[in-house]
Amino acid sequence: MIVDLNEEQKAFQASVRDYMKNVMMTDDFKAELDTPDLSHGGGPVYWEKMRQLGQDGWIRLSWPKELGGAGADPVQQYILVDEAKRVGFPWPSLSANSIGPVLARHAQDAIRDKVVNEILNGEAYLAIGYSEPEAGSDLASLKTRAERDGDDWVINGQKIWTSCANFAQYIWLAARTDPDPKSRHRGITIFLVPTDSEGFSCTLIETLGVLTTATYYDQVRIPDRYRVGEVNGGWPLITGQLNIERLALVNYGHVAKLYDQTLSLLQSDPNFSPLLEESWVQDSLAYAHSRLEVLKTLCLKAAWKMEQGESGMVEASATKVYGSEVYIELGRRMSEILGAAANVAQGSSMVLNGIAEKWYRKGTVHTFGGGANELQRTIVANAGLGLPR
Amino acid sequence: MNFSLSETQQQAQELATQILSDATSPAQLAQFDKTGYFDRSLWQSLADAGLLGIAIGEEHGGMGLDFETLCVFLEAAGQHAAPVPLLSVLVDGALLLQAFSPVISASILPSIVSGEKLLTSDLQSNVSVFTAQESNESEVLLNGKSGIVALGNDADFCLLKAELNQQTIIVLADLTQSQCSRELQVLTTGEHAATLTLDNLPARLIASGTEAEAFLSLATRYSQTAGAAYAVGIAESMIKQASTYTADRKQFGKAIGSFQAVQQQLANTYIDKQCLRAASEKAIYELSLDDTSDSSREAALIANIWLGDALHNISHTTQHVHGGMGVDRDYGLFRYCTAARDLELRYSSSARAISELGSLIRARQP
């Protein structure tokens, strides 16, 4: 048994870490990401970095070779995203890793090469248009309609939580093409909607933590070549989301950040270091460390299983639940150590660039986003423990 | 990375599982509930198969396999709530003796491997106080009283720590001598422990001073890690029993395992168990890399923290979803729960391990 990366993987990790820190997270980019409206990307430096990421081959790294990628294995893919998130780089997981390869497999020839190249070169972002005001976890109840009109489709409806749509070039849209209520799952088709289409609009939704959008489709007319996959064949494209992506939501580097930074503050800042002598502080640090070490092993193990050709579905779901709940609990414990300074959003008493304050506001999304934890537990119960449906 | 078992480990696992499953049906286990929860004939079968010597050197009659393979065996034993004192004899006793004293090992370990004699230890106790007087170069005389010593009522030999001229020493005592009196303590598992009163009991010196400190430090990390491996087996079995039971048990016309409330709770036990397993695997790996490193000490503490947290949650939840069956002595789950309970307090509680880990983090250089 070897519970660690091998030498080659460690060297890869070091090279990614170096690249992310020195090439991607330059001061001008950090400053841009500190601007609230651009904290997810979409600013001029963001697009500069994305194009460079593409040119340097990082986006295509994990794509299968037959789709123009470098065919990296799940462990390398995990390391890449882990390192990117560790330094706060807004890695385009959904667009580049989750949706991109599905698009490359199922898009029509007329648009495939163009869009694939745009993604791989860091020139395009695909926002996901699944959720609607009345369709969340029960996605098959979505109502946005697409109707055939000659060679075109005409789309009407509304999507919500369409994150990054404010700077995306395309919406990866799930729309109903068969209104018969008996064919809930079988009546859905995927379309790629260019965001410069007439009738498309987008409004920002300011949430407690992150910026997201609502998107509106008012008689949006797109040619049939923007349909992806078969008519009424969208459901498998939606559920085929890779388990490695679920893992990426709570990977170690991302969840460990607050603990790492709190500990180094306690070790280095004379205003905070007396706290390190307090037993309750030591206990909370130990609690955090014991949880994070296990998260690290769980993530590596799930990626290893996928590398061995297993689906890793149960592992990914269990790790997502665990990691997201650790995220919340450590947000509390580390903030307890930092005290009132953890709640300063602006001002000279802010510590650690406000990470604890942001952590609290952004944290809840982890337990319901990317598949609510209740649904992940149901997957664990059914597929992992064999409990009846 | 590689989380799979080697071929040798798979063979050890199969062999152990075969012997253990033949001897651990609920009816078989019930025979030992009131007699010390120790099946001597199973012990002899394990000895005859060579498993008691799995991690003991070939020069002492063992198989000479590594600690990781021993942990595979322990996990299998945990899965069967096996009524045999493997942790006491093989980990707390033999593993440490072997590492520190080739001479005493040569005289004792063959009789352990053959199943003839039993060895235990009292190194983790905060309660035991023994003082030693020098008798000759390799022997001391012990006086004092112990806390609760696992297997203390039945063991022939025991590793103890004592104080000699204000220094900690580690000794091996022969508990069958007349200068040792034992008082039986029946544990919640039904196992027979004992408190020991020693009156000038001769004991053989194994280590003193810094060597004794090193011995204790190693003892702690090996015992905590092996305990976590054993705990993984207990947890696997408790969860399997609960899943099987709730998939079958019907109320309101439906299997209760199909209810979301039950599923969510059992999913939590699965997640806890996976965390415990990850912590255990990491500690085993770190110990096999370097058992004196800070990383192996931390990893063993983390495994111990998870042992306490996970077993507590899993044993309560699995009993709970069983309803009355979970506590029925005619149904087997309770043995796993009491074994879990024993293990939770055996080496270090989760709270104490958290505190120790916190001190280590405090002392770390940035």
User: What pLDDT does A40 receive?
Assistant: 86
| Joined tokens for residue A171 | 């919406």
Contact A294 B354 (CB under 8 A): no
Query: Quick one: B220 and B314 in the same domain?
Result: yes
Domain termination site, one of A73, A91, A109: A91
Give the single-character DSSP code of B39.
Answer: -
User: What pLDDT does A250 receive?
Assistant: 84
Query: Quick one: B238 and B280 in the same domain?
Result: yes
User: What pLDDT does A382 receive?
Assistant: 97
Q: CB-based contacts of A43: which residues, under 8 Å, 6+ apart?
A: A32, A33, A35
Supply the CATH number for residue B50's domain: 1.10.540.10
Q: Which of B355, B319, B365, B357 is nearest to B340 (CA)?
A: B319
User: What pLDDT does A358 receive?
Assistant: 94
Q: Is residue A98 part of a domain?
A: no
Model pLDDT for residues B74-95, shown as the tens digit of each residue: 999 999 999 999 999 999 999 9
Supply the CATH number for residue B142's domain: 2.40.110.10
Residue A310 near chain B (CB below 8 Å):
no
Query: Quick one: A217 and A322 in the same domain?
Result: no
Give residue B69's pLDDT band: very low, low, confident or very high (50, 70, 90).
very high
Domain termination site, one of A203, A234, A265: A234
Give residue A248's pLDDT band: very low, low, confident or very high (50, 70, 90).
confident
Give the single-character DSSP code of B93.
Answer: I
| Joined tokens for residue A334 | 């580390």
Indicate yes or no: pTM above 0.80: yes
| Residues A160-166, mean pLDDT to the nearest whole number | 94
Contact residues, chain B, for A293 at CB < 8 Å: 279, 282, 298-299, 302
Structural domain including B284 reads 213-363
pLDDT(B249) > 80: yes
Query: Quick one: A18 and A79 in the same domain?
Result: yes
State the nearest Cα–Cα gap between B1 and chain A, in angstroms: 5
Of A27-41, A347-361, B267-281, the least confident: A27-41
| Joined tokens for residue A324 | 């997201």
Q: Which of A322, A335, A262 is nearest to A293 (CA)?
A: A322
Contact residues, chain A, for B278 at CB < 8 Å: 294, 297-298, 301
Supply the CATH number for residue A20's domain: 1.10.540.10
Query: Quick one: A27 and A68 in the same domain?
Result: yes
Q: Is residue A181 part of a domain?
A: yes
Q: Is residue A318 part of a domain?
A: yes
Q: Is residue B254 part of a domain?
A: yes
| Joined tokens for residue A281 | 């502080």
Contact B358 A276 (CB under 8 A): no
Q: Is residue B202 part of a domain?
A: yes
pLDDT(B123) > 80: yes
Query: Cα–Cα distance between A259 and A5 in angstroms, integer?
Result: 22
Residue B9, number of CB atoms within 10 A of its CB: 19
User: What pLDDT does A241 receive?
Assistant: 65
User: What pLDDT does A142 receive?
Assistant: 95
- Does residue A245 contact residue A174 with C-beta atoms inside 8 Å? no
Q: Which of A276, A315, A288 is nearest to A74 (CA)?
A: A315
Q: How many domains does chain A have?
A: 3
Nearest to A294 among B260, B278, B364 (CB): B278
Query: Quick one: B328 and B235 in the same domain?
Result: yes
Give residue A110's pLDDT band: very low, low, confident or very high (50, 70, 90).
very high
Of chain B, the end-to-end C-alpha distance in Å amounts to: 28
Query: Cα–Cα distance between A1 and B278 in angstroms, integer?
Result: 12
Q: For residue B169, what are the β-bridge partners?
A: B162, B208
Query: Cα–Cα distance between B238 and B337 in angstroms, integer?
Result: 8
Query: Quick one: B347 and B219 in the same domain?
Result: yes
Name the more confident of A101 and A195: A195
Q: Which SS3 state, helix, strand or coil, does residue A63 take? A: coil
Query: Quick one: A143 and A190 in the same domain?
Result: yes
| Residues B67-72, mean pLDDT to the nearest whole number | 98
Residue of A nearest to B241 (CA): A385
Domain termination site, one of A64, A91, A118: A91
Of A357-366, B35-44, B76-85, the least confident: A357-366
| Residues B218-242, mean pLDDT to the nearest whole number | 98
Of A213-222, A295-304, B119-128, B328-337, the least confident: B119-128
Task: Note which residues in 38-97 of chain A have CB less than 8 A from chain B.
Answer: 75
Query: Quick one: B351 and B229 in the same domain?
Result: yes
Q: Is residue A225 part of a domain?
A: yes
Query: Quick one: A247 and A132 in the same domain?
Result: no
Supply the CATH number for residue A200's domain: 2.40.110.10
Residue A380 near chain B (CB below 8 Å):
yes
CA distances from A90 to A46, A76, A80, A327, B277 (A): 9, 18, 12, 18, 32
Share of chain B above pLDDT 70, in %: 100
| Residues A187-204, mean pLDDT to the nearest whole number | 97
Q: Is residue B239 part of a domain?
A: yes
Q: Which SS3 state, helix, strand or coil, does residue A360 take? A: helix
Query: Quick one: A248 and A302 in the same domain?
Result: yes
Q: Give residue A122's region: left, alpha or beta (phi > 0; psi -120 to 50).
A: left
Model pLDDT for residues B272-299, shown as the tens digit of each residue: 999 999 999 999 999 999 999 999 999 9
| Joined tokens for residue A354 | 């406000």
Q: For residue B254, what are the β-bridge partners?
A: B251
What residue type is assigned to position B346 of the chain?
R
Nearest to A387 among B2, B247, B271 (CB): B247
Query: Quick one: A372 and A278 in the same domain?
Result: yes
Query: Cα–Cα distance between A369 and A43 in angstroms, integer?
Result: 24
Q: Which SS3 state, helix, strand or coil, does residue B327 take? A: helix
Supply the CATH number for residue A294's domain: 1.20.140.10
CA distances from A57 to A19, A53, A168, B48, B317 (A): 12, 6, 21, 60, 49
| Residues A31-37, mean pLDDT to the nearest whole number | 89
Q: For residue A228, what are the β-bridge partners?
A: A190
Nearest to A285 among B1, B268, B361 (CB): B361
Give residue A242's pLDDT band: very low, low, confident or very high (50, 70, 90).
low
Q: Is residue B242 part of a domain?
A: yes
Query: Cα–Cα distance between A136 and A141 in angstroms, integer?
Result: 8
**Catalytic residue annotation of A:** 245
Q: Is residue A67 part of a domain?
A: yes
**Segment (H or E) for A368:** helix A365-368
Query: Quick one: A275 and A221 in the same domain?
Result: no
Domain termination site, one of B117, B148, B183: B117
Query: Quick one: B218 and B169 in the same domain?
Result: no
Vertex B52 angle, CA B48 and B56, to 5°: 120
| Joined tokens for residue A15 | 């090279």
Q: Is residue A376 part of a domain?
A: yes
Query: Quick one: B230 and B344 in the same domain?
Result: yes
CA distances from A84 to A21, A204, A309 (A): 9, 26, 25
Query: Cα–Cα distance between B327 and B348 in angstroms, integer?
Result: 26
| Residues B17-23, mean pLDDT to the nearest whole number | 98
State the nearest Cα–Cα gap between A139 and chain B, in angstroms: 19
Query: Quick one: B95 and B71 in the same domain?
Result: yes
Contact residues, chain A, for B318 at CB < 8 Å: none
Query: Quick one: A146 and A181 in the same domain?
Result: yes
Query: Quick one: A257 and A138 in the same domain?
Result: no
Query: Quick one: A248 and A376 in the same domain?
Result: yes
Contact residues, chain A, for B297 at CB < 8 Å: none
CA distances from A365 to A104, B114, B224, B267 (A): 29, 59, 36, 21
- Does residue A127 contact residue A164 with C-beta atoms inside 8 Å? yes
Contact A1 B266 (CB under 8 A): no
Q: Output Rg (C-alpha) for chain B, integer angstroms.
A: 21
Give residue B35's pLDDT band: very low, low, confident or very high (50, 70, 90).
very high
pLDDT(A247) > 80: no
Residue B352, number of CB atoms within 10 A of its CB: 16
Give residue A16's pLDDT band: very low, low, confident or very high (50, 70, 90).
very high
Q: Evaluate the CA torsion angle B196, B201, B203, B209 in order and state its sign.
A: positive
Query: Quick one: B217 and B358 in the same domain?
Result: yes
Query: Cα–Cα distance between A375 and A379 in angstroms, integer?
Result: 6
Query: Quick one: A86 and A167 in the same domain?
Result: no
Q: For residue B197, what are the β-bridge partners?
A: B145, B181
Supply the CATH number for residue B221's domain: 1.20.140.10
Q: Which SS3 state, helix, strand or coil, does residue B157 take? A: strand
Q: Which of A127, A234, A250, A136 is nearest to A190 (CA)?
A: A234
Query: Quick one: B165 and B142 in the same domain?
Result: yes
State the nearest Cα–Cα gap between A120 and chain B, in angstroms: 29
- Main-chain phi, psi angles of A358, to 5 degrees: -70, -40
Query: Quick one: B227 and B325 in the same domain?
Result: yes
Give residue A137's pLDDT band: very low, low, confident or very high (50, 70, 90).
confident
State the nearest Cα–Cα gap between A1 and chain B, in angstroms: 5
Query: Quick one: B200 and B218 in the same domain?
Result: no
Q: Which SS3 state, helix, strand or coil, does residue B302 take? A: helix
Nearest to A286 among B266, B268, B361 (CB): B361
| Residues A54-75, mean pLDDT to the nearest whole number | 91
Q: How many domains does chain B have?
A: 3
Structural domain including A333 reads 243-384
- Main-chain phi, psi angles of B167, to 5 degrees: -120, 145
Q: Which SS3 state, helix, strand or coil, does residue B138 take? A: coil
Give the single-character DSSP code of A93.
Answer: I
User: What pLDDT does A98 receive?
Assistant: 85
Domain termination site, one of B148, B182, B208: B208
**Mean of the per-residue pLDDT values of chain A:** 94
Q: Is residue B2 part of a domain?
A: no
Domain termination site, one of B184, B208, B232: B208
pLDDT(A243) > 80: no
Q: Is residue B150 part of a domain?
A: yes
Give residue B127's pLDDT band: very low, low, confident or very high (50, 70, 90).
confident
